[in-house]
Amino acid sequence: YGSALADIIGGPGAFRKYVQGNAGDVATKRSHLLDVFRDNVGLLVAKTWVDEKDEVRKSDALASLDAFVGMVSAADYVNAVPAFVGVADSIACLLFGEDASADGFMQYVFRIDPRLGIFYWYVGRLREQDRVDPDLALIELLIGVYALASF
């Protein structure tokens, strides 16, 4: 199911290479995916125009991004899930001026872009879940990172 969801929100067919194959190749591909994610999200945040009063939010978003990438790089997948939710929430706030958990946000984002709506639906599920084991957390993170790296 994870590959199917990733294909819907990220792009068809390419997700499997991050979960199937020999361990060395998969690790290299995951590392590259994380680099692309960091670069794309960092560029998105840096290029987002905000009022001067919101510049702190941009700095906080970039710091959250760096912390998240550090957790994933250190294989701290369980703690990286809520950090990923925080990164996604920061992006929503900067781009749309809204809290991703606020009433009406989902309807708004689905009208803008259905794929982005599905992504934020997914983030909402991550936000609500209890603590999961590291293997499941890794798959959850890969789906989210793949989705954002693909936008």
For residue 3, what are the CA distances in angstroms to 9, 71, 101, 125? 10, 23, 25, 17
Which pLDDT does position 103 carry in this prediction?
86
Q: How far apart are the first and last CA of the chain?
A: 20
Which pLDDT does position 1 carry in this prediction?
66
pLDDT 10s digits, 82-125? 999 999 999 998 888 878 888 889 999 999 999 899 999 999 99
pLDDT 10s digits, 1-60? 677 888 777 777 788 889 888 999 999 999 999 999 999 999 988 888 777 777 888 889
Which pLDDT does position 146 carry in this prediction?
93
> 24: burial class by Cβ within 10 Å (0-12, 13-18, 19+)?
exposed
Count Cβ neighbours within 10 Å for each residue of 27-52 and write b for 16 or more, e otherwise. eeebeebbeebbeebeebbeeeeeee
